[in-house]
A and B are shown apart, each in its own frame.
Chain A
Amino acid sequence: MSSSSVLEEIRRAEEFLVVGKGVWRIDALDKVTGRARFTSDFVLKDALHVRLVKSPIPHGRIIEIDAERALGLGPVRVFTAADIPGENQVGYALPDQPLLPADKVRYVGEPVALVAAPDEDLAEKAAELVEVRYEELPAVFDPLEAMERSDVLVHEDRGTNIAEMTRVRKGNVERGFEESDVVVENTYRTGHQEHAPLETEGAVAIPDTQGGVTVIASIQYPHLCQRITARVLGLPHSMVRVIQPYVGGGFGGKDDMGPVVSAMAALVAFKTGKPAVLVYSRRDSFTSTCKRDPSVVRYKTGATRDGRLKAIEVQIILDSGAYANRGPYVLWRATMHAGGPYEVPNAKVDGFLVYTNKVFEGSFRGFGNPQVQFAAESQLDELAERLGMDPLEIRLKNLLRPGSRTITDQLLESSVGIYEAVKLLGEKTGFRAKWREYRRERAGRVRRGIGIACGYHGISTSRGVPDWSNATVILGRDGSVTVETGICEIGQGSWTAHAQIAAEVLGVPVERVKVVGGTSDAPDTGATHASRGSSIGGIGVYVAAKRLRERLAEAAARLLECDPSDVEIREGRAFRRDSPDDYVEWEELVQAAYSMGYEMSATGYFFLPKGKFDMERGLGYAYPAFSYIANVAEVEVDLETGKVRVVRVWPALAAGRILNPVLVEGQIEGAIAQGMGYALTEELKFEDGRMLNPNFTDYLIPTSLDVPEVEAPIYVEDLYEYGPFGAKGVGEMALIPTPAAIMNAVKNATGVRITEIPATPEKVYFHLKEAGVVAGE
């Protein structure tokens, strides 16, 4: 299929029957009736329960693991690095992470051994009795310190604590700053964020009769789990089967942790010949799974008097914790997005990923982007302030448009809807008038403020990293439709979108489509991350369904005695365009096609074309497309308690075709809540590398009562040529600008710029006090 023909078809289509409609989630009934089954619902009677033995120290050599007392308790088994039959390696970007460490531990909470027993109590008790002797090593916790030190190394063999460096060199920043009339420079800091999925990480592994293993797990990429598990067990990939049941939230964390828990459970099942179940406790989920990388971002921006951006110079330091995991990719994304969705002629960006002796970081909705957008969007407001402009004006002056180039010098030919989105958003919210009024008022104890922030997010993998879509569509003899995909349903609604795409292309009601996803039995569709589940994942479904549709049109033409091009198939009927009353029912049509010798299953594959990227200068083709977002937030700040209340948020999204507005709204609302938690309350506290609040009593995510009113989103449907029906990604978008929108609103309310999140009441209170802002002023 040539790409231009797809786009042409989409453009030509005037009306859709299923796509773009608020179709019911295909999993809705299962979930509201409680029929939906999650990983821990698959525990078999004779299963062994697995518990982790975790490191109590941040850095140390493992001298000895003594399991004698644990084994003395009864039918207990203990597994360590020495028991791993294959390769003890689960590192993603770099080969630096063992499943279970053999020589040393690098953070408090690192699993050093697995304990298995027939019941949970016994496993728990036995895990406490495994004695591990360590020789403690000095540890580093602060990334700025870790960068400078070579005497304390988290990974000795690397010779440095810097795991990865990235850069962008566009134009000439020295000249850019010389040509600038104002220059603003600040340092921004962001903290950890825990994914806090309702369902913790877990896997059930069942040995099969052929020497392999089947894993049922809470995951985001079955084929990656298959690959890592096979590597750890020393098996061919085909001997490991991975199945995703319903998943109670992923947010990126289960992309990284799915393979780890799968491999752990599989190791026990493989060594014992018994089913094994490992479900992380909430505490494990806090102490021993990846988080969002904390960051320090130094940001210098220059602009001319009329508000045009001239240059940026940015240094990004991400704290990777004990392992690199996805860090290098997170850092690349942060680096390439550092300019925000604006035209910046001169850019110099340097990124550093730094090891420390804390829990490792990894994928999380936004993937490095929220950290830099917080800085970039705060900077823009500071610039506007110095120039005497309002925040809307400076954005409209600099936003990307079709024909613009990004800071990696990528030319954006089309599908760039941010300018229009921001313009509409400004009008809808009455931004300017409110912003001026709140700024003028600034009186009393509780102050109101309004803020805007934008964001953009590359869809698919970055740079030249290959990306593809792949799916199988099968028509049953009874006319039922099965879509097989590796894309996971993690609550976001991708399977519903898949069903909509298949139904639209085939011309059947959406209820006829069943999606079998999240399994290694389906074609490798890549991971459910990077906002690619429905957008990239859906392309394969589109292509496969298209193939079947062509065959069905031929079969129908024979039945209706016309040319295939005159056949129309819609709502489960095939007919001649010129005589709709003369039709064939869908079931008849499929059966006839079977008898006529048409193959009624098809695979759809699409390899995304990508351009060149120069890693030396960080220039070139960064992503196949970008989605765009802008949020306006209105807040109230209590000067005397430092509490920030987000009253209302207005989102505007330019993400191509909106396949299902109800699902998209769900994603936007959830992302705003998660972004608000990140900005205001969610804070992991550490003391000598030990997490002080690994629980929901003291790690505070917003409750339904804290979440602000989210207004109906503005959609600018800037169609993307390769997306199914022109769709781009949505899932991560609304989180990205939320912290900056809130902090810009706080500035509008109080005149004080807060450069560090989470902005807890304590922080806000003392910042305001320092700045001399008091009530009644």
Chain B
Amino acid sequence: MNRFNTHIIPVEFEYHEPRTIREALELLARWGEDAKILAGGTDLLVQMKMRRVEPKCVINIKRIPELDYIREGPAGVRIGAATRLRRLERSGAIKRLFPALHRAIGWMASVQVRNMATIGGNLCNASPAADTAPPLMVYGARVKLASVSGERTLPLEDFFTGPGQTAMRPGEMLTEIWIPRQPEGTGSAFIKVARTAMDLAKVNVAVALTLKGWSAFNVRIALGSVAPTPMRAREAEAALEGRPPTEGLLRRVGDIASEEIRPITDVRSTAEYRREVTKVIVADALRKALGMVRVGGGVG
């Protein structure tokens, strides 16, 4: 069977536009694995046209007002799963508090696509290259999953289980992303290596660290497109944790991260190049993050 984009959806399905989360969850409970949630559709519709997924029921969640919000609170920011990328990009709170996420979103696709695509869709699609995943991971974001039988939250890191695979169970949907405020003196950055201005990542990286005195603490490094899921480079983080971020050390941290990743060769790049470039951009991102703290652009 063809597995390419024919620009038509050659399968029949039921279509629903619930107005509340409750309604959506009931539909999900009824249809189980035969249902697919439609948010911006920028991933899903392509996959349906390619017949990679052939749902019997499509549930559009973009008409649910309770899924579209950015709320700044004392402990952090809550984002509704169906919030469009463009709205996040234009949000002062996101830009101020989570510059790496802001940068990642501004670098995704094009304005037209960002006007449709949602943050929840980017995460639930679970591509190893998803650009919002590394920044959310370094900020320690948690995701809220809901079903008719209740809600649970888990760290975003535990959410991804494989390419296109998540910890969501049948009947569950993502309703909210919560990002905690970062401590005083935190700097963060995002870098993507891509072939043109509108391209999926060959490698992407986000880092966050808190500077106390001369030393870096709370070091977090997350990479995409270099393993079956977006991943933390924990050994690289440990190498920097609690130590002064000298130029030599930053380079070594890049080298360690490059050893930790598990890249493959595909049409987008080679494993070898991914390893080489990881060294460079991890160090670059750390320098950038440090620069942000030092010029006082750190997060309060």
Which A positions have Cβ atoms within 8 angstroms of B?
120-121, 124-125, 128, 281-283, 640-643, 681, 685, 692-695, 697-698, 700-706, 760-762, 765-766
Point out the residues of chain B lying under 8 angstroms from A703, CB to CB.
110, 196-198
Flag whether B169 is at the interface (Cβ < 8 A): no
Give the interface segment out of B2-10, B56-64, B206-214, B255-263: B2-10
Q: Are A695 and B4 in contact (CB under 8 A)?
A: yes
Flag whether B200 is at the interface (Cβ < 8 A): yes
**In the complex the two chains form, what is the Cα distance from A703 to B193 in whole Å?**
16
A705 and B6 in contact, given A685-B267, A692-B267, A765-B273 (Cβ under 8 angstroms)? no
Within 8 Å by CB of B270, from A124, A705, A762, lies A762
A-B contact count (CB 8 A): 65
Q: Are B267 and A121 in contact (CB under 8 A)?
A: no
A-B contact pairs, 25 of them (CB 8 A): A120-B8, A124-B2, A124-B8, A124-B10, A125-B10, A128-B2, A281-B5, A281-B7, A283-B5, A641-B193, A641-B277, A681-B195, A697-B200, A700-B196, A703-B110, A705-B197, A705-B198, A760-B195, A761-B195, A761-B273, A761-B277, A762-B269, A762-B270, A765-B273, A765-B277
**In the complex the two chains form, what is the Cα distance from A281 to B197 in whole Å?**
24
Besides A640-B277, A703-B196, A706-B196, 5 other A-B contacts (C-beta < 8 A): A124-B2, A695-B5, A700-B196, A761-B277, A762-B270
Flag whether B295 is at the interface (Cβ < 8 A): no
Which B positions have Cβ atoms within 8 angstroms of A?
1-2, 4-8, 10, 110, 193, 195-200, 267-270, 273, 276-277, 280-281
**In the complex the two chains form, what is the Cα distance from A128 to B269 in whole Å?**
31
Point out the residues of chain B lying under 8 angstroms from A705, CB to CB.
196-198
**In the complex the two chains form, what is the Cα distance from A283 to B5 in whole Å?**
7
**In the complex the two chains form, what is the Cα distance from A582 to B47 in whole Å?**
72
Q: Are A700 and B199 in contact (CB under 8 A)?
A: yes
Q: What's the nearest-Cβ distance from chain B to residue A709, in Å? A: 15
**In the complex the two chains form, what is the Cα distance from A764 to B92 in whole Å?**
39
Q: What's the nearest-Cβ distance from chain B to residue A145, in Å? A: 23
Within 8 Å by CB of B4, from A283, A681, A762, A765, lies A283
Q: What's the nearest-Cβ distance from chain B to residue A759, in Å? A: 12
A281 and B273 in contact, given A692-B267, A705-B198 (Cβ under 8 angstroms)? no
Point out the residues of chain B lying under 8 angstroms from A128, CB to CB.
1-2
Point out the residues of chain B lying under 8 angstroms from A766, CB to CB.
273
Q: What's the nearest-Cβ distance from chain A to residue B163, in Å? A: 15
Point out the residues of chain A lying under 8 angstroms from B8, CB to CB.
120-121, 124
Point out the residues of chain B lying under 8 angstroms from A642, CB to CB.
273
Q: What's the nearest-Cβ distance from chain A to residue B97, in Å? A: 27
Q: Are B196 and A681 in contact (CB under 8 A)?
A: yes
**In the complex the two chains form, what is the Cα distance from A120 to B276 in whole Å?**
46
Most buried by B among A128, A704, A706, A762: A762
Point out the residues of chain A lying under 8 angstroms from B4, CB to CB.
281, 283, 694-695
Q: Describe B's contact surface by its main secondary structure.
A: loop
Q: Are A641 and B267 in contact (CB under 8 A)?
A: no
Q: Are B197 and A282 in contact (CB under 8 A)?
A: no
Point out the residues of chain B lying under 8 angstroms from A693, CB to CB.
267
Q: Are B10 and A121 in contact (CB under 8 A)?
A: yes
Task: For B11, give the chain A residue with the smallest CB separation.
Answer: A121
Task: For B270, give the chain A residue with the smallest CB separation.
Answer: A762
Task: For A696, give the chain B residue with the smallest CB separation.
Answer: B198
Task: For B10, give the chain A residue with the smallest CB separation.
Answer: A121
Task: For A762, give the chain B residue with the smallest CB separation.
Answer: B273
Point out the residues of chain A lying under 8 angstroms from B10, CB to CB.
121, 124-125
Within 8 Å by CB of A641, from B2, B5, B196, B280, lies B280
Task: For A639, give the chain B residue with the smallest CB separation.
Answer: B280
Task: For B4, give the chain A residue with the smallest CB separation.
Answer: A283
**In the complex the two chains form, what is the Cα distance from A311 to B28 in whole Å?**
76
Q: What's the nearest-Cβ distance from chain A to residue B264, in Å? A: 14
Point out the residues of chain A lying under 8 angstroms from B277, CB to CB.
640-641, 761, 765
**In the complex the two chains form, what is the Cα distance from A283 to B276 in whole Å?**
32
**In the complex the two chains form, what is the Cα distance from A706 to B194 in whole Å?**
12
Q: What's the nearest-Cβ distance from chain A to residue B261, in Å? A: 16
Q: What's the nearest-Cβ distance from chain B to residue A386, in Å? A: 32
Task: For B280, give the chain A residue with the smallest CB separation.
Answer: A640
Q: What's the nearest-Cβ distance from chain B to residue A367, in Å? A: 26
Point out the residues of chain A lying under 8 angstroms from B269, CB to CB.
762
Task: For B197, give the chain A residue with the smallest CB separation.
Answer: A705
Within 8 Å by CB of B267, from A120, A681, A698, A702, lies A698
Q: Are A765 and B198 in contact (CB under 8 A)?
A: no
Q: Are A702 and B276 in contact (CB under 8 A)?
A: no
Q: Are B195 and A700 in contact (CB under 8 A)?
A: yes
**In the complex the two chains form, what is the Cα distance from A700 to B198 in whole Å?**
9
Q: What's the nearest-Cβ distance from chain B to residue A692, in Å? A: 5
**In the complex the two chains form, what is the Cα distance from A700 to B200 in whole Å?**
11
Point out the residues of chain A lying under 8 angstroms from B199, CB to CB.
700
**In the complex the two chains form, what is the Cα distance from A120 to B9 in whole Å?**
10
Q: What's the nearest-Cβ distance from chain A to residue B109, in Å? A: 11
Point out the residues of chain B lying under 8 angstroms from A760, CB to CB.
195
Q: What's the nearest-Cβ distance from chain A to residue B11, in Å? A: 9
Point out the residues of chain B lying under 8 angstroms from A700, CB to CB.
195-196, 199
Task: For A127, give the chain B residue with the smallest CB separation.
Answer: B2
**In the complex the two chains form, what is the Cα distance from A695 to B4 in whole Å?**
9
**In the complex the two chains form, what is the Cα distance from A761 to B267 in whole Å?**
14
Point out the residues of chain B lying under 8 angstroms from A283, CB to CB.
4-6
Point out the residues of chain A lying under 8 angstroms from B2, CB to CB.
124, 128
Q: Are B280 and A124 in contact (CB under 8 A)?
A: no
**In the complex the two chains form, what is the Cα distance from A647 to B17 in whole Å?**
48
Point out the residues of chain A lying under 8 angstroms from B7, CB to CB.
281-282
Q: Are A698 and B268 in contact (CB under 8 A)?
A: yes
Task: For A758, give the chain B residue with the smallest CB separation.
Answer: B195
**In the complex the two chains form, what is the Cα distance from A282 to B267 in whole Å?**
18
Q: Are A281 and B6 in contact (CB under 8 A)?
A: yes
Task: For B9, give the chain A residue with the smallest CB separation.
Answer: A121
Point out the residues of chain A lying under 8 angstroms from B268, CB to CB.
698
Point out the residues of chain A lying under 8 angstroms from B270, CB to CB.
762
**In the complex the two chains form, what is the Cα distance from A641 to B201 in whole Å?**
14
Q: What's the nearest-Cβ distance from chain A to residue B284, in Å? A: 8
By Cβ-Cβ distance, the 7 closest A-B pairs, closest first, are A705-B197, A640-B280, A762-B273, A700-B195, A698-B267, A703-B197, A283-B4
**In the complex the two chains form, what is the Cα distance from A697 to B266 in whole Å?**
13
**In the complex the two chains form, what is the Cα distance from A643 to B273 in whole Å?**
12
Task: For A694, give the chain B residue with the smallest CB separation.
Answer: B4
**In the complex the two chains form, what is the Cα distance from A706 to B6 in whole Å?**
28
Task: For B273, give the chain A residue with the smallest CB separation.
Answer: A762
Point out the residues of chain B lying under 8 angstroms from A706, CB to CB.
196-197
Q: What's the nearest-Cβ distance from chain B to residue A53, in Å? A: 11
Q: What's the nearest-Cβ distance from chain B to residue A248, in Å? A: 15
Task: For A200, give the chain B residue with the smallest CB separation.
Answer: B7
Point out the residues of chain A lying under 8 angstroms from B281, CB to CB.
641
Task: For B276, give the chain A residue with the smallest CB separation.
Answer: A765
Q: What's the nearest-Cβ distance from chain A to residue B50, in Å? A: 10
Q: What's the nearest-Cβ distance from chain A to residue B22, in Å? A: 35
A702 and B196 in contact, given A693-B267, A761-B273 (Cβ under 8 angstroms)? yes
**In the complex the two chains form, what is the Cα distance from A642 to B269 in whole Å?**
13
Task: For B269, give the chain A residue with the smallest CB separation.
Answer: A762
**In the complex the two chains form, what is the Cα distance from A332 to B124 in whole Å?**
54
**In the complex the two chains form, what is the Cα distance from A694 to B50 in whole Å?**
13
Q: What's the nearest-Cβ distance from chain A to residue B228, in Å? A: 19
**In the complex the two chains form, what is the Cα distance from A703 to B199 in whole Å?**
10
**In the complex the two chains form, what is the Cα distance from A281 to B8 in whole Å?**
10
**In the complex the two chains form, what is the Cα distance from A702 to B276 in whole Å?**
24
**In the complex the two chains form, what is the Cα distance from A125 to B196 in whole Å?**
35
Point out the residues of chain B lying under 8 angstroms from A697, CB to CB.
200
